[in-house]
Amino acid sequence: MMPSDFAAYIYHRLSTDSTILGLVGQRIYNTVVPTGVSYPVVVFVLNSYLDMRGSGERWGGRALYLIKGIIPSPSLTTSMRQLANRIDELFEATVSDHGGHTYASWRDAPVDITEPVGTEVWRHIGGLYWILGY
């Protein structure tokens, strides 16, 4: 397994969920949000990855991902709460299959950050999730 397998799994989980699609449409991105897109968006970013090996072969991995929604507003709106809650439901204490691999995930920590962007204040809400794949 490679980190790209984990990214494909995360994207699949997010992009096939009707609640996520209702809140952000197809605006789901791996690592970088392109310029010029409308918000809110969901972005996921690899923070750490560890290969799991046995008998000289790489048979799985453990990844730590930040999965969050972003909105150009300091307020925690109802839709942003729904988005963060749904991300948590999709990745908290779950086991599922995708692309010939099995994945188990759990939340390590919630994330709720505000940051200045130009003259605005933006909100990031979601969590850090460990994902075990084999």
Indicate if the pLDDT at residue 105 is higher than 90: yes
Distances (CA, A) of 63 to 1, 19, 71, 115, 134: 11, 25, 25, 26, 11
Q: In what order do the strands lie in the sheet with 57-71?
A: 28-30, 41-54, 57-71, 120-133, 101-117, 94-98
Average pLDDT of 78-91?
A: 94
What is the per-residue pLDDT for 89? Answer: 96
Tell me, what's the pLDDT at 91? Answer: 95
pLDDT at 108: 96
Single-letter residue type at 120: E
In the chain, domain spans: 3-133
pLDDT at 65 over 80: yes
Alpha-carbon distance of 125 to 120, in angstroms, equals 16
Q: Domain 3-133 adopts which CATH fold?
A: STM4215-like (3.30.2000)
pLDDT at 32 over 80: yes
pTM of the model: 0.90
Is the pLDDT at 98 greater than 80? The verdict is: yes
- Asked whether residue 76 carries a pLDDT value surpassing 80, the answer given is no
Evaluate whether 14 touches 42 at the Cβ level (below 8 Å).
yes
Q: Are 120 and 90 in contact (CB under 8 A)?
A: no
pLDDT, position 123? 93
Residue pair 102/1 in contact (Cβ under 8 Å)? The answer is no
Amino acid 25: pLDDT: 96
Mean predicted confidence (pLDDT) in 48-62:
84
- Which tokens sit at 87? 């991300």
What band does 106 get if pLDDT is binned at 50, 70 and 90? very high
- Which run of H or of E encompasses 89? helix 78-91
* Structure tokens that stand for 80 in this block: 């942003």
